Amino acid sequence: MNFFDKLKKWMFNKVSRDLGVIFALVVPEVFNAEREHGGGTGEAKRAQVVASIKAQIAKEGGIDAPAWVLDALVPFLIDLLLDGVKKDNPGN
């Protein structure tokens, strides 16, 4: 295995681990917010979840992704999950 193959494997493992940690933080927060606040406005719910996740990441650490990645990825995952919850529960 040459240097670039090793580098590619290392980067893939690093990114996969960071994404796994982020996803593990996002999913429970989204479903807790949905359960606690029901329908409501998506924007308020989204802002609450983003703030909670960023606080957890800052407190626990363990994610090497730059802040701009988190700023883009966390809201995207939240929107994706909230859309899925709304489709599963059309009354909310």
Domain chopping of the chain, boundaries? 42-92
Instruction: Give the angle subtended at the CA of 48 by the CAs of 45 and 50, to the nearest 5°.
Output: 105
Q: Return the structure tokens found at 35.
A: 């359960």
Find the mean pLDDT for residues 28-44.
Answer: 67
Q: What is the pLDDT of residue 42?
A: 63
Q: What's the pLDDT score for residue 77?
A: 80
Distance between CA 12 and CA 32 in Å, rounded? 30
How many alpha carbons lie under 13 Å from residue 30 in its C-beta half-sphere?
22
| Confidence band of 39 (pLDDT split at 50, 70, 90) | low
- Which pLDDT tens digit goes with each residue over 40-83? 556 777 777 778 887 887 777 767 777 777 777 888 887 777 77
> What's the angle, vertex CA 26, arms to CA 20 and CA 28, rounded to 5?
110
Is 0.95 topped by the overall pTM? no
